[in-house]
Amino acid sequence: MIYPIVVYGDPVLKKKARDIKKGEVDVRQLSEDMFETMHGASGVGLAAPQIGMSIRMFVVDASPMEDEELMDFRKVFINPVMLDEEGEPWPYEEGCLSIPHIREEITRKPDIRIRYFDENWEEHEESYDGIRARIIQHEYDHIEGILFTDYLSPFKKRMLKGKLQNISKGKTRVDYRIAVPLRK
């Protein structure tokens, strides 16, 4: 099932999501639906708040980036805990399915360590770097209620204000189904 993607301006994107209790949600089904939704929108990551669910879960699949090294990076993260982020911060241009047509350079630390459950409720503790870490950090932010635009300078934010308002009003053309906060 493909969900509409919640866009900028919806309060669910600014809310810290809560942990999922085992058995409360069919996480296998939900992860399949999230992959389907994400692929339908050509994204490489999707967090539950982006389909209107304020729970701690996200999926990543970097295969659309067509980078051989990232081909097998397809994972489900449930109740993740970021244990460590370190190294010299580096800039990378990020985008977000909830903020269509806006891409900005965001600076983050390159090396992370994260603990999470997969869709079979098996626990993992793993380290990532580079683009993999970057995708995870962006999605992890979503379940913390943080958007990449939150990191921009006040000047940049003012520059983007009109564009962001248009997204919230549904005045942006997107080739996937969205849920627009101010159209309700």
**Which stretches of the chain bind Ni ion, using CB under 5 A?**
96
In angstroms, what is the minimal distance from the CB of 40 to Ni ion? 15
**Contact of 53 with 29, CB cutoff 8 Å:** no
Let me know how many helices (H) and strands (E) the chain has, helices first: 3, 9
C-beta closer to Ni ion: residue 103 or 161: 103
In angstroms, what is the minimal distance from the CB of 13 to Ni ion? 9
Nearest alpha-carbon partner for 126 in 138, 139, 141, 112: 112
Half-sphere exposure of 103 (CA within 13 A, CB side): 6
> What is the distance of C-alpha 157 from the center of its chain?
20
In angstroms, what is the minimal distance from the CB of 17 to Ni ion? 13
Active site residue 139: yes
C-beta closer to Ni ion: residue 70 or 147: 147
C-beta closer to Ni ion: residue 22 or 101: 101
State how far the Cα of 182 lies from the Cα of 169, in Å rounded to an integer.
Answer: 5
Q: Which of 36, 122, 126, 139 is catalytic?
A: 139
Residue type at 113 in one-letter notation: R
Q: Which residue is nearest to Ni ion (CB)?
A: 96
C-beta closer to Ni ion: residue 26 or 107: 107
Half-sphere exposure of 77 (CA within 13 A, CB side): 30
In angstroms, what is the minimal distance from the CB of 48 to Ni ion? 12
What residues does 60 pair with on adjacent strands?
Answer: 45, 75
Nearest alpha-carbon partner for 74 in 105, 99, 30, 39: 39
Q: Which residues are catalytic?
A: 139
